[in-house]
């Protein structure tokens, strides 16, 4: 059912992942696409270490008026790994949303070695207090219980489709495309014009036209999966 109280052109979005997994590219595409539609953007990158594989995230604030700072609220969390869900799910506002990999719901907190001991203990305490276990599914349930919209995306299935359509023999060759799936799913739930994302992809990958077009076609799959299907989510661009 369509929400009656839409919140238009005022959004705080975060994408996260391991260093080297394409977090910066994701944020660049998201910000450029928003700016192409006449919106104002403000970005802030955070990382825990320069070591490959360590967690990093990028926050992009989008607004219909000029902005010069970020905000502490989080309206939409875009993820493609387990650690980002564990680290940031509790920060999503009650009417916000989380995009996540549906194949990772069984991942346990102890399966993520890069989460530091203090945060691990804090998460365990938080989940135990709610009678929950220590998996992605549990942290997502705690969010859903607050009213957060959950948006499962079958990343591996989408990658397989892209690989088959482009005659690619190994998914590892296109594995970083999952970050663009996360961006596309974000725009899908926000009801934003996909052509703005396509334009941004072609700009970011302008030196690799073939790669750009494969990303444009592939990301559209994630966009179409969610577009128009989560009308209760109140944020729109």
| 52-100 pLDDT tens trace | 567 788 999 999 999 988 888 999 999 999 999 999 999 999 999 999 9
DSSP per-residue codes, 20-34:
TSSHHHHHHHHHHHH
- Other Cβ atoms closer than 10 A to 39: 20
Residue given tokens 């919140």 in the structure block: 7
pLDDT at 139: 99
Taking the C-alpha atoms of residue 144 and residue 147, their distance in angstroms, rounded to an integer, is 5
pLDDT at 135: 98
Which regions of the chain are under pLDDT 70?
1-4, 21, 47-53
Query: Taking Cα atoms as reference points, which of 98, 100, 95 lies closest to residue 10?
Result: 95
Q: What residue ranges do the domains of the chain occupy?
A: 7-236
Coil vs helix vs strand at 189: helix
For 116, 129, 132, 202, the CA distances from 121, given in Å and listed in that order, are 9, 12, 14, 43
pLDDT at 52: 57
CATH number of 7-236: 3.40.920.10
For 148, 172, 218, the CA distances from 157, given in Å and listed in that order, are 25, 13, 11
Q: Are strands 149-153 and 74-79 parallel, antiparallel or unpaired?
A: unpaired
């Amino acid at each position: 059912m369509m929400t009656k109280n839409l919140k238009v052109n005022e959004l705080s979005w975060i994408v996260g992942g391991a260093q080297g997994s394409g977090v910066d590219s994701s944020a660049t595409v998201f910000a450029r696409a928003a700016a192409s539609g006449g919106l104002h953007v403000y970005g802030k990158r955070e990382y825990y270490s320069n070591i490959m594989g360590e967690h990093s995230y990028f926050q992009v604030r989008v607004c219909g008026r000029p902005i010069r700072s970020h905000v502490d609220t989080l309206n939409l969390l875009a993820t493609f790994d387990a650690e980002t869900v564990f680290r940031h799910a509790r920060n999503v506002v009650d009417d916000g949303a989380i995009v996540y990999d549906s194949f990772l719901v069984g991942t346990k907190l102890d399966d993520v070695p890069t989460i530091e001991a203090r945060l691990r203990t804090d998460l365990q305490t938080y989940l135990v207090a709610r009678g929950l276990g220590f998996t992605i599914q549990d942290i997502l349930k705690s969010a859903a219980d607050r009213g957060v919209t959950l948006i499962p995306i079958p990343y591996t299935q989408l990658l397989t489709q892209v690989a088959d359509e482009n005659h690619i023999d190994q998914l590892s060759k296109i594995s970083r495309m999952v970050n663009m799936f996360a961006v596309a799913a974000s725009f899908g739930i926000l009801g934003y014009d996909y052509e703005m994302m396509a334009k941004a992809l072609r700009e970011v990958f302008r030196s690799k036209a073939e790669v750009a077009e494969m990303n444009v076609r592939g990301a559209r799959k994630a966009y179409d999966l969610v577009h128009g299907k989560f009308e209760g989510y109140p944020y729109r661009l």
